[in-house]
Structure 1
């Protein structure tokens, strides 16, 4: 199938220890519910490999015995590096006969992502299903990948030896070094995020939240969020939060409300609320994510759901770490949560994210480096940039790095080879400024714009070329003609305007399909008659133009080229079982006959000469003279 991406068929799944009943905190059950809601599909299943066979550890919308019907889908998913997507099982001969499609569930749509160890070995699968054929968008694919990575991270965390305090302390030391970076990232994120206490007062808010309410920070913190809502929205929000606190309706609620701004304007928004657990170091309350629904509501809703799910997963991971190490201080717990939050957010972005210090050493790198460069982020930290990046890529961005280290925010777009693949990259470099001092490093974000660049190239080619013959079109010819005219004496040697005689009869007699093939063959024959560097274009319909470039050529050489074109076009063309006989009329304009004319004027003069050849009996060549009627017609 075209959606299937096949990896090495010899790669076998690695068995990993499944969570015991005492360890099972319903994490995987929650993940399947999140996957079903986020991807808008009724069935979601997580299974891990046990002795070469899948075992379901979490399911939503079906019973766990569905594992007995998943063997084929499981095997094919583990062979894929990307999501394995089947829009309709009935279009796949193997899956159409499988028990999943023919059984009680009658599954038609399937999308699964392989779960892998850091070494790449598959350990299980996360999948979603539907009994009807479905489309699976790029955003849904990215969300499925993000959820799979969350499960892989959770499996990795559960392998941590909770008795090894030294390792945890070392991890906390690393987290502390990145705390300031996390705080700055929180405030720089473009999504409005706030922590609201149980008294409905503001606890924390990022810069995007302040900007959303068009307010300054100090007055905004003095206004409870409920006072910014109409009575109806206020009541709905209070009731929904009460239900959330009682454990009803899931762990995240989403409401569409309208906020009242201080300038008396009203601003619609989508608010997502998650409960924060009360701890000795935290007063609980709720985490609010506020989205401006005035801009592309559907796309924002999908992105907001993903961000909320990522935040919830990161929070649960940090809470698990806190419970495993209760002897650590509350400050250490907060640093641990900060590090996990930062890593979870950065690792699930499809871009390179990093912090490089003033010595040009990596201090932070997200997991996209593993996918793009084949390097583990932990191995990158501490290394110099020229040790990590390809030499050509490093040289290409060096001028921009110099500028960002001088305190300037820089954007760039370059081509580079990453892990053997040629890509077009767009990057943003932001200087790290502390206390208004000189930049002591920079943050970087690099996007892969290869597909967008290729699309622009294709559109540019389509705009300047004829789709049927592949020749440059009239626009491209005029642009090249203007450039040649501007080049002076060495730019234009001559122009020819060619029109097929009797082409309409071909269309009327044999049909437009035959006519199109005649035009393609005409383009080939004319192109074979001109010199290297000359330009042949399709002007319109059965009209072609030729630009002979370089210094002026004598009249005899020009006539030889024209006669060659006239002769080759008079030869019969075999189109399928048909033999088509045509001729052509050619108008020529040597550059020395109109040295001061513009490109458009030159083309009109050549067109007029061609028309006179038509009037004179067709199948001939007329050379245009500037001050009088044509001086010669060549037959």
Structure 2
């Protein structure tokens, strides 16, 4: 890692600070994310996307949003007071603030934003903070729709077990010739994370893990949270060979995944069972059972591994 260049011999502390601020503003100007810094309750530096998100101009230096109180982007005094209170509580617990809150633009248009706030220095949580804001209005509306909630897991936003089994049922017993495979993913020793760090950190970890699994599959595939720390993946038009490749990529990705959530740091590993649909697996329960049994074999072998269901009572080791 390259070290920062030392200041010039004749540079004053003030000039060094000005240069650092100019560099930070240059980074924010080019950043595609709506983010910024808040100092003493006011926006100190902001990226262009954050400026635009709240309906302000393109003037150099952040435009009209810089210098404004954070109260100006919230819908009421009560919302402002509640945000300060919950942020302080989150920092005291050693974690960033991460919630969906109702925000307001300069034209008084309201939207829902996912607001993530972290202190720049965890030793001084009351000092300057770093904000990231995402407009989640459309996603929130989708989640609140009855049809969405019936098919998705509220925590991870993945398909739920009922939807997974419904989609799988369209392939079981089908006369179509395309191969279909299923993965059963079980996180190793996840209970230890819960006991050590609490359910809130565990929930954040599961959400991140679900998003990680999605990156390892195609758009036509389906990733589902079955229950607790167990996931399943439906791979249409995917034979056992390619399903093994996907499973190994997932196993490796989980092993390399690091949760950094405020002051919390943790990592886990996972076992994966792989099965390709076959005539002997005549029902959804039979397919799911075969994948789960293969995963159990991986756990019995010590964890962090993949097992493939070959035939009734047979398993094949892939990785570990």
Normalised by the length of structure 1, the TM-score is 0.27
Instruction: Quote the Cα distance in structure 2 between the aligned partners of 1:484 and 1:585.
Output: 25
Cα–Cα, structure 1 residues 474 and 554, in superposed 2: closer, same or farther, change >3 Å? closer
Q: Residue 282 of structure 2: SS of its match in structure 1?
A: coil
Instruction: Quote the Cα distance in structure 1 between the aligned partners of 2:286 and 2:240.
Output: 22
TM-superposed CA distance for 1:575, in Å, is: 2.1
Select 1:612's aligned residue among 294, 297, 304.
297
TM-superposition CA deviations, 1:267-307 (whole Å, max 9, x none): xxxxxxxxxxxxxxxxxxxxxxxxxxxxxxxxxxxxxxxxx
Aligned counterpart, 1:498: 185
TM-superposition CA deviations, 1:62-97 (whole Å, max 9, x none): xxxxxxxxxxxxxxxxxxxxxxxxxxxxx99xxxxx
Select 1:626's aligned residue among 300, 308, 311.
311
Within 5 Å, which residues of 2 pair with 1:141-160? none
CA contact (8 A) 2:182 2:233 kept: yes
Instruction: Quote the Cα distance in structure 2 between the aligned partners of 1:467 and 1:515.
Output: 14
Q: Residue 631 of structure 1: SS of its match in structure 2?
A: strand
Asked whether 1:577 is paired with 2:257, we answer no
Within 5 Å, which residues of 2 pair with 1:27-38? none
TM-superposition CA deviations, 1:532-572 (whole Å, max 9, x none): 2000000000000000012x4252x2222111100110112
CA contact (8 A) 1:464 1:472 kept: yes
Q: Residue 310 of structure 2: SS of its match in structure 1?
A: coil
TM-superposed CA distance for 1:513, in Å, is: 0.5
Select 1:562's aligned residue among 247, 258, 262.
247
TM-superposition CA deviations, 1:213-254 (whole Å, max 9, x none): xxxxxxxxxxxxxxxxxxxxxxxxxxxxxxxxxxxxxxxxxx
Aligned counterpart, 1:468: 155
Aligned counterpart, 2:113: none
CA contact (8 A) 2:173 2:282 kept: no
Q: Which is greater in Rg?
A: 1
TM-superposed CA distance for 1:483, in Å, is: 1.3
Instruction: Quote the Cα distance in structure 1 between the aligned partners of 2:162 and 2:240.
Output: 28
Q: Residue 251 of structure 2: SS of its match in structure 1?
A: helix
Instruction: Quote the Cα distance in structure 2 between the aligned partners of 1:570 and 1:456.
Output: 30
TM-superposed CA distance for 1:455, in Å, is: 10
- Give the number of the structure with larger relative contact order, counting CA–CA contacts within 8 Å between residues 6 or more apart: 2
CA contact (8 A) 1:613 1:633 kept: no
Aligned counterpart, 1:599: 284
Cα–Cα, structure 1 residues 456 and 529, in superposed 2: closer, same or farther, change >3 Å? closer
TM-superposed CA distance for 1:612, in Å, is: 1.0
Asked whether 1:547 is paired with 2:234, we answer yes
Q: Residue 484 of structure 1: SS of its match in structure 2?
A: coil
Aligned residues between the structures: 181
Asked whether 1:531 is paired with 2:215, we answer no
Instruction: Quote the Cα distance in structure 1 between the aligned partners of 2:290 and 2:240.
Output: 19
Q: Which runs of 5+ in 1 are unaligned?
A: 1-90, 93-453
CA contact (8 A) 1:484 1:491 kept: no
TM-superposed CA distance for 1:491, in Å, is: 5.9
CA contact (8 A) 1:588 1:623 kept: yes
Asked whether 1:587 is paired with 2:277, we answer no
Instruction: Quote the Cα distance in structure 1 between the aligned partners of 2:154 and 2:205.
Output: 15
TM-superposed CA distance for 1:523, in Å, is: 0.2
Within 5 Å, which residues of 2 pair with 1:265-344? none
TM-superposed CA distance for 1:458, in Å, is: 1.3
Cα–Cα, structure 1 residues 490 and 480, in superposed 2: closer, same or farther, change >3 Å? farther
Instruction: Quote the Cα distance in structure 2 between the aligned partners of 1:491 and 1:468.
Output: 33
Instruction: Quote the Cα distance in structure 1 between the aligned partners of 2:262 and 2:142.
Output: 35
After the TM superposition, which of the residue ranges 563-572 and 456-465 deviates more from structure 2? Answer: 456-465
Instruction: Quote the Cα distance in structure 2 between the aligned partners of 1:514 and 1:456.
Output: 22
Instruction: Quote the Cα distance in structure 2 between the aligned partners of 1:610 and 1:631.
Output: 11
Q: Residue 149 of structure 2: SS of its match in structure 1?
A: helix
TM-superposed CA distance for 1:522, in Å, is: 0.7
Asked whether 1:517 is paired with 2:204, we answer yes
CA contact (8 A) 1:490 1:549 kept: no
Cα–Cα, structure 1 residues 554 and 511, in superposed 2: closer, same or farther, change >3 Å? closer
Instruction: Quote the Cα distance in structure 1 between the aligned partners of 2:275 and 2:312.
Output: 13
Q: Residue 544 of structure 1: SS of its match in structure 2?
A: strand
CA contact (8 A) 1:492 1:547 kept: no
Aligned counterpart, 1:349: none
CA contact (8 A) 1:573 1:580 kept: yes
Cα–Cα, structure 1 residues 596 and 603, in superposed 2: closer, same or farther, change >3 Å? closer
RMSD of aligned C-alpha atoms?
2.4
Instruction: Quote the Cα distance in structure 1 between the aligned partners of 2:205 and 2:170.
Output: 31
TM-superposed CA distance for 1:618, in Å, is: 0.5
Instruction: Quote the Cα distance in structure 2 between the aligned partners of 1:516 and 1:457.
Output: 19
